[in-house]
Structure 1
Amino acid sequence: MKNGLKTLEQTVATARDWLLIKAALGGDSKSFSILVSFHKKRVQAIGFSFFKNDADVEDFVQEVLLKAFNKLGTFKGGSLFSTWLTRIALNTAINAKNRRQEYKPLADEDRIAAPTKSPEETEIRKATAAAIREAVRELPEKYAVCIELYFFYDNSYEEIAEITSLNLNTVKSNIFRAKKILKEKLRQFYEK
């Protein structure tokens, strides 16, 4: 039933997005603002995975949303709007990274660690998040991008293939290899 519910939610979200896109293309700027409100957190999450400070993330988000607004007429619906927007965000982040040579693959521990019941659990989660962040940072970029999109942004293999312009088997291979490397790196962390 869970898969059926997810499919229904995706169908409703897709229909909602299409209505808002049509209205925005018709000149209704409020519709674009509403559309963005449903997807802004995903763009921010990508920003936090690439940039070190909040000001850079906010600049990144604004740049992505401006690009999306300017290119909205090119969205043909061959994918979900969220996938299209994620691709713009990822391209923008990678281009910025190449310009600045500044990359931080995961967000702060506080953004990763879920609320817990005790300070000890919080510290364990923070240490685990730091170890994961460090392990992902050490991955080759082609693996890091795929594994982040898979685990941290909950994209399917097919969505990752579309976002990264890689073929499906390459995405599966990159994720498999990234998991294998991470497993070994994290095993070393827990053996310390």
Structure 2
Amino acid sequence: MAGKTLNGIERLLINKRDEFLIKETLNGNEKAFQTLIKLYKKRVVALGMSFFRNPDDTDDFVQEVFVKVYMNLSKFNYRSSFATWITKIAYNSAVNSVTRRQEYVPLANEDMLQSKALGPEEEEIRKTTLDTIRECVLSLPENYGRCVEMYFFHGLKYEEISEITGFPVNTIKSYIFRSKKLMADNLRGVIYEQ
């Protein structure tokens, strides 16, 4: 219970902080917007790296997202968290960009995934595992793969994924459940081949 309460208090404080920074930005305080960028840039970069093949495209994407955030900040209605709102803008921007370019590389870039200092053998096992998981996710139907990626690799909740993608929560749960089964079957095949 204490953990849930603390989590709720943390969320409330974050929402109040964001509300203050948004109002300050709308009143012309550039430093307030710079603070919002610092707070949410890592999230946007991680999402960008999961969609694009190189850091230059990701940098362009991050700039594009924050320009959209700035231009639409007055439309933020506080019905969701600012983090969810900005992630939705980032996700939609990435999908639109990918649709224009037909270039999608799901899964967080392995550099973005935290890896502790590993020995050469453990590093090779980690790399092989990531490559295998990446192939499994790529083999999933597109909507399944995107939901799996947001849930497992970006740590988003079903409700946040629903807001971002526009899919109902139960559909997302179903996609993730089916994806787990498909991936387990695929991984079993890989294990038995070796």
Q: Same fold (TM over 0.5)?
A: yes
Written as runs of structure 1 = structure 2, the 5 A alignment for 1:114-153 is 114-153=115-154
Instruction: Report the CA distance between 1:116 and its aligned residue.
Output: 4.1
Of 96-105 and 111-120, the range deviating more from structure 2: 111-120
Q: CA separation in 2, counterparts of 1:84 and 1:113?
A: 25
Written as runs of structure 1 = structure 2, the 5 A alignment for 1:1-192 is 1-112=2-113, 114-191=115-192, 192=194
Unpaired runs of 5+ residues, structure 2, are none
Which structure is higher in RCO with an 8 Å CA cutoff and minimum separation 6?
A: 2
Q: CA separation in 2, counterparts of 1:93 and 1:163?
A: 12
For this pair of structures, how many residues does the alignment match? 192
Instruction: Report the CA distance between 1:29 and its aligned residue.
Output: 1.1
Q: 8 Å contact 1:113–1:122 — kept in the other structure?
A: no
Q: CA separation in 1, counterparts of 2:158 and 2:110?
A: 26
Q: CA separation in 1, counterparts of 2:121 and 2:154?
A: 27
Q: CA separation in 1, counterparts of 2:112 and 2:187?
A: 20
Q: 8 Å contact 1:105–1:137 — kept in the other structure?
A: yes
Instruction: Report the CA distance between 1:110 and its aligned residue.
Output: 3.2
Instruction: Report the CA distance between 1:3 and its aligned residue.
Output: 3.0
Q: 8 Å contact 2:108–2:153 — kept in the other structure?
A: no
Letter in 2 for 1:10: R
* Pair 129,3 (structure 1): closer, same or farther in 2 beyond 3 Å: farther
**What is the TM-score when the length of structure 1 is the normalising length?**
0.95
Q: 8 Å contact 2:151–2:157 — kept in the other structure?
A: yes
Unpaired runs of 5+ residues, structure 1, are none
Q: 8 Å contact 2:46–2:112 — kept in the other structure?
A: no
Q: CA separation in 2, counterparts of 1:152 and 1:67?
A: 24
- How big is the alpha-carbon RMSD for the aligned residues of Structure 1 and Structure 2? 1.4
**Runs of 4+ displaced beyond 6 Å:** none
Instruction: Report the CA distance between 1:100 and its aligned residue.
Output: 0.3
